[in-house]
């Protein structure tokens, strides 16, 4: 795995260690020693005051990986084994929230947004003082300015006014990354995720430098069902092609080794999404509607539901590729539990709305399971998918993929349709979408919207790094010979 920061290493290693203990039937027996083993007595803490703080952080980071969160702690001195037992014995996941913040880990971030540095020259102009709307600027004996943070409201006017650029803006990385202001500090200075605003884009997950933000995992729920001998089928998102550095047949063989009864590609469902969305687009345009957006990105659907309700009439009613793939899986295996595997946090919300899907695992979690099981991909027996999906269906994994698939499906009919893409749900693109909803006009007749900048291949819970993942996906797509270009509709 190509890690892009140490937070990913920590998350991956911890879950892999937990899975390894589970596989050896030692999770409850040995989990209490895990924080000590990860931070031995004379080890150097990474960004913490001492190893005891580090161990506390390790302890609480196991909670969301076991499907729990901080509210499940009933006693601070209760051993981790109590919570492991709780996680393994529960019949079904019972958390309402999708994500959580580990308060022990969220303790070193800035409490203020603006600070005056020693670059301040104590000038006579005092632009910071003259322009502050709250009279929060004070002066030291040497004339240098300082900010009274009890009065300051972090408006940033002083920052813009200083001619020496002596006032610096100190961002809170998770808050800065959130496009919908769904995360903020509570009265204790700990970040809190407001799920009534959250669109589960996952931008905050890897933005937090202390790794305090987690999605609540269903890893052990899935593994427990496998251990009980129940039948589970994995439906795997198209971006799997860019995740592991081996053949896709060996990757699917690894899924079989984990214990899945079958593997079905979500690309098969993407073909249904493509045909249904293409016909719906033509119908809407014939009816006089000015534009239609895609509907397969669950984070975008959350954005519309919570922040741009005026966009609802313009969103396609076609189901996502997961929706159709799940029904294909249920038809083939009516007695099985269906597990969606992908790179997306928002899919956890979509899964809750879809009665055909039982659980979700991310590529990041699959990578940890493979390590925990000590599965070597190159040694796997290959498992081939019987159904061959077209190249464009696998292309849903990248930005422009849905738009490209629909246009390829429509062939000559697509020539009269102007299609554009909105890739990356950020503040600027949200404003653009809001304007489209308000005016009923857009720069294109068909708009593909993806929460992640490069599409699903750059999702928050991928296994491979972004650059390698994109490159590998493109190479894999070139190998796919089946295409709408050579097919009759």
Joined tokens for residue 274:
């493509």
SS3 of residue 337 by DSSP: strand
Task: Kindly state whether residues 444 and 295 are assigned to the same domain.
Answer: yes
Q: Comparing 216-220, 322-326, 384-388, 483-487, which segment has the lowest mean pLDDT?
A: 483-487
Asked if residue 175 is part of any domain, the answer here is no
Three-state DSSP class for 417? coil
Model confidence pLDDT, tens digit, residues 156-181: 999 999 999 999 999 899 999 999 99
Per-residue pLDDT, averaged over 402-425, amounts to 94
Torsion sign over Cα 392, 397, 400, 406: positive
State the CATH number of the domain containing residue 408.
3.40.950.10
Whether residue 362 contacts residue 9, with contact meaning beta carbons closer than 8 Å, is answered with no
Q: What is the pLDDT of residue 2?
A: 43
How high is the pLDDT of residue 4?
55
287 shares its domain with 386 = yes
DSSP string computed for 130-171: HH-TT--EEE-TTS-EEE-TTT-----HHHHH-TT--EEE--
Confidence of residue 402 (pLDDT cuts 50, 70, 90): very high
Arithmetic mean of pLDDT, 283-311:
97
Q: Per the structure block, which two tokens stand in for 457?
A: 């291949």
- For range 125-150, the mean pLDDT: 94
Residues 126 and 239 in one domain: no
- Looking at residue 131, which CATH number applies to its domain? 3.30.70.20
Query: How many structural domains is the chain composed of?
Result: 3
pLDDT confidence bin for 387, thresholds 50/70/90: confident
The whole model's pTM is what? 0.92
Query: Quick one: 207 and 247 in the same domain?
Result: no
The verdict on 72 and 165 lying in the same domain is no
Residues 198 and 240 in one domain: no
pLDDT tens for each residue of 254-293: 999 999 999 999 999 999 999 999 999 999 999 999 999 9
Say whether both 338 and 416 belong to one domain. yes
pLDDT value for 1: 42
404 and 259 housed in the same domain: yes
Say if residue 112's pLDDT is above 90.
no
Please tell me the predicted confidence (pLDDT) of residue 341.
98
* Residue 378 resides in a domain: yes
Q: What was the pLDDT predicted at 156?
A: 93
422 and 386 fall within a common domain? yes
Alpha helices (H) along 297-453: 298-306, 321-332, 347-353, 363-372, 391-394, 401-410, 427-439
- Domain hosting 146: range is 112-169
Given this model, what pLDDT does residue 403 score? 96
**Cβ(378)–Cβ(278) under 8 Å?**
no
Q: What band does 66 get if pLDDT is binned at 50, 70 and 90?
A: very high
Inside any domain, residue 202: yes
Q: How far is Cα 339 from Cα 329, in angstroms, rounded to an integer?
A: 10
Burial class of residue 465 in the structure, from the number of CB atoms within 10 Å of its CB (0-12 exposed, 13-18 middle, 19+ buried): middle
Compute the C-alpha angle 280/285/287, nearest 5°.
Answer: 95
Q: Residues 98, 124: one domain?
A: no
Whether pLDDT at 210 is above 80:
yes
Same domain, 325 and 410: yes
| In a domain? residue 489 | no
Q: Which of 109-123, 299-313, 338-352, 386-400 has the lowest mean pLDDT?
A: 109-123
The answer on 251 and 390 residing in a single domain is: yes
So what's the pLDDT on residue 206?
Answer: 87
pLDDT in tens, 34-50: 999 988 988 777 667 78
Residue among 101, 110, 104 at smallest CA distance from 152: 110
Evaluate if residue 188 carries a pLDDT over 90: no
């Amino acid at each position: 795995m190509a890690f892009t920061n140490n937070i990913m290493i920590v998350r991956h290693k911890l879950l892999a260690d937990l899975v390894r203990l589970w596989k050896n039937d030692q999770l409850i027996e040995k989990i209490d020693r895990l924080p000590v083993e990860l931070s031995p007595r004379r080890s150097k803490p990474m960004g913490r005051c001492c190893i005891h703080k580090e161990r506390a952080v390790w302890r609480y980071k196991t909670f969301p990986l076991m499907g729990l969160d901080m509210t499940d702690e009933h006693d601070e001195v209760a051993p981790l084994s109590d919570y492991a037992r709780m996680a393994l014995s529960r019949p079904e996941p019972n958390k309402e929230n999708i994500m959580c913040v580990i308060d022990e880990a969220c303790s070193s971030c800035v409490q203020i947004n603006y600070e005056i540095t020693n670059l301040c020259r104590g000038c006579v102009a005092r632009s910071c003082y003259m322009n502050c709307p709250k009279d929060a600027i004070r002066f030291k004996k040497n004339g240098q300015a300082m900010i009274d943070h009890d009065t300051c409201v972090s408006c940033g006017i002083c920052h813009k006014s200083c001619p020496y650029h002596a006032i610096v803006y100190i961002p809170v990385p998770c808050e800065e990354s959130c496009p919908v202001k769904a995360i903020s500090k509570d009265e204790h200075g700990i970040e809190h995720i407001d799920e009534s605003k959250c669109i589960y884009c996952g931008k905050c997950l890897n933005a937090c430098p202390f790794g305090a933000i987690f999605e609540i995992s269903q890893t052990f729920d899935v593994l427990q069902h496998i251990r009980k001998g129940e039948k589970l089928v994995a439906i795997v998102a198209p971006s799997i092609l860019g995740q592991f550095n081996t053949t896709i047949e060996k990757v699917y063989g690894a899924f079989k080794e984990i214990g899945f009864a079958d593997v079905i590609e979500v690309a098969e469902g993407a073909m249904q999404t493509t045909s249904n969305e293409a016909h719906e687009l033509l119908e809407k345009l014939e009816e006089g509607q000015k534009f239609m957006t895609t509907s397969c990105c669950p984070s975008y659907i959350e954005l519309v539901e919570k922040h741009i309700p005026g966009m609802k009439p313009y969103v396609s009613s076609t189901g996502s590729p997961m929706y159709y793939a799940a029904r294909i899986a249920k038809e083939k295996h009516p007695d099985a539990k269906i597990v969606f595997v992908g790179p997306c946090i928002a899919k956890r919300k979509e899964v809750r709305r879809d009665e055909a899907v039982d659980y979700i695992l991310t590529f990041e979690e699959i990578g940890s399971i493979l390590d925990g099981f000590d599965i070597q991909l190159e040694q796997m027996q290959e498992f081939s998918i019987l159904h061959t999906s077209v190249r464009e269906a696998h292309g849903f994994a990248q930005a422009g993929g849905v738009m490209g698939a629909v246009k390829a499906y429509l062939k000559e009919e697509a020539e009269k349709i102007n299609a554009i893409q909105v890739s990356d749900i950020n503040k600027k693109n949200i404003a653009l979408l809001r304007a489209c909803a308000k005016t009923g006009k857009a720069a294109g007749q068909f708009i593909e919207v993806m929460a992640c900048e490069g599409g699903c291949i750059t999702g928050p819970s991928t296994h491979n790094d972004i650059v390698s993942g994109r490159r590998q996906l493109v190479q894999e797509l070139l190998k796919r010979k089946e295409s709408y270009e050579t097919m009759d509709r």
